[in-house]
Amino acid sequence: MNNGMAVNGGANQNFGTQVPYSGFNQNGMFQLPRAAARPNNAALSRSGESEAQQVSRFNNLPLEQYRGELYGLCKDQHGCRYLQRKLEERNAEHVQMIFEETHMHVVELMTDPFGNYLCQKLLEYSNDDQRTRLIHNAAPQLVPIALNQHGTRALQKMIEFVSTQQQIRMVIDALRGHVVDLVQDLNGNHVIQKCLNRLSAEDAQFIYDA
């Protein structure tokens, strides 16, 4: 994605021209103290299938065959990889199909060990309207997502691919007021760094105002 993006009916906004923020310690962290990483207690389900059997389930099968089952596939290691490959094909109908079955579960999927990878790809290959809905659905929980070891990756990808001023405002409004907590957390700190690197100086001002 180019740094100059169309925002609000065609006005270009450059998100990469500001002077990089220098207030990081020698490890590249934002300068406030960080807290220890939060433990993840998610238990991964295991099936009785062999690795080869699990992989073969998705070989050469059309996405349409899994209609109505895509949300479940997002939380399966091999199913998630299959859906990522489908998104990478850039077939608009397939992107829409995956979006329709997952956008209402975006908070859960962003913090899932496998689903977070699907969310990252979906944010990358979705169109502006789809991406806006994903951000809108996730916005009330962006802080817990940022603090989660899986969610932080998906949220950083969300910030990387914001493409309209509306999307930017939703992210800023969700994080504003929680900057100190995020900076002091290992996972949250990476989200703040992404905002500093990705947003314009004006849009990132909420961080300096914290």
Residue 151 lies in a domain: yes
Predicted TM-score (pTM) of this structure: 0.74
| 3 state DSSP class of 203 | coil
CATH number of the domain that 89 lies in?
A: 1.25.10.10
Name the residue with higher pLDDT: 132 or 210. 132
CA 113 to each of CA 24, 78, 86, 119, 138: distance values in angstroms, whole numbers, following the listed order: 29, 12, 19, 11, 17
Name the residue with higher pLDDT: 182 or 46. 182
Confidence of residue 60 (pLDDT cuts 50, 70, 90): confident
In the chain, the number of structural domains is 1
pLDDT at residue 35 in the model: 42
Domain that holds residue 134: 48-208
Residue 108 lies in a domain: yes
Residue 39 lies in a domain: no
Residue 8 lies in a domain: no
